[in-house]
Amino acid sequence: MDTELAVVGSLNHDLTVLTRRHPRPGETVLGTDQYSAGGGKGANQAVAAARLGSRVAMIGMVGHDANGAALVAGLAAEGIDVSTVGVDQEAPTGLAVITIDDRAENSIVVIPGANMRLSPAHIEEHNQVIARARVVLAQLEVPMETVVAAAKAATGLFCLNPAPSHSIPEGLWDRIDVLVPNRSELAALADRPEPATFDEVAVAVSSLPYQGPVVVTLGSEGALVVEDAMATPVPAPGIEAVDPTGSGDAFCGALGHALGRGLSLLDATRRAVVAGAIAATRRGAQPSMPTISEVEALLEG
C-alpha cells in the first residue's frame, strides 16, 4: 500500500464508565452506564485519518489475547494496514479505564501492557513503511526510544503529539517538524504554569527548546497555531460535548491527513479543529471519529 500516513503508537482496549460526578479519594459512587471501544492514542489517530480518506499504516503492538485480536480486526475494517502491528506473547493488550461525569469531563488510567514492548527493533523491521509515508504521526504511549527511532526513519513530516506528558530528549527536538501538545502538555514541556490565554500559550511556546511549528489544542477554544513567530487562533465550532476522550486524537489524525494532502498548517488546523469537535459529541474514542463528508459539511456550514 502507498502509505500517506504512518502512525507509530499505542493500541488500547477502552472501558468507559459514566457517573454523575467523579469520586473523591476513598469514596464509592454509582455509575450510570458503561461501554467498551477500541482506543489508544495511536490507533485512534490512525482511524481518524483513515475515515477522512488517508491511506494509513499502524505500527504498534498488542498482546496475544482477545482484546488485541479485536483491536487489530477493527483497524483492518477501517482499511488500515495492520501488517505492521506486532503481537507480544507475554504482555497483555493495553487497557484504558475512563470515567466521564455529567459535565463531560473525563479521567483516565492507562495500563500500557504490550504497548511498552514496541521496540526500536520493530521500527527497524518496518522502517521502509515509515520512510515512504508523507507524514509520520507519533505519541508518547510507547517507549521514548521507539519514538526516537521512528523520527530517525521518517523522511516525510514527523509530527509529535507529546501525550501523555513526558520530557523530550534533546536529540528528538531536532527531528520534529510539527509539535501538537495540549495546554497541559505544553506547560510541562515549557516548565511553566498552565497557560490560560492565547498570549500565555504563545509565550510558553516561545520558551520551548524548539523553533519549529507548534499547534496547541485548547479544547472548546479551538487551537493556536504558532509558526514563523506568528500566533494565529483557530476557533472551534460550538458543540455540546458528550465524551471528549477521542477529541484530541481526532484532531491529530485530521491534522496529519490534511498535511499529507499538502494543505498549509493553518488550513490543516481548521479542519482538525472541526474533526475534534465532532468527535466530542459522540461516545467512545474510535467510534466517534468523523468522516470527510461530516467535516466538510460543518466547515461549509
Residue with the three cell numbers 492514542 = 41
CA distance 81 to 158: 19
Phi, psi of 16 (to 5 degrees): -110, 135
User: Which residues does residue 33 pair with via DSSP β-bridges, in sequence order?
Assistant: 18
Which residues make beta-bridge pairs with 97?
A: 15, 109
Q: 12, 249, 260, 47: which is closest to 154 by C-alpha? A: 260
Per-position b or e across 164-197, b if 16+ CB within 10 A of its CB: eeeebeeebbeebbbbbbbbebbbebbeeeebee
Residue 249 falls in the annotated catalytic set = yes
Query: Strand 94-100 vs strand 106-111: parallel, antiparallel, or unpaired?
Result: antiparallel
What the block records as the C-alpha cell of 250 is 481526532
Q: Are 39 and 245 in contact (CB under 8 A)?
A: yes
> For residue 57, what are the β-bridge partners?
6, 81
Residue of 65, 243, 249, 267 marked active site: 249
Positions marked active-site: 249
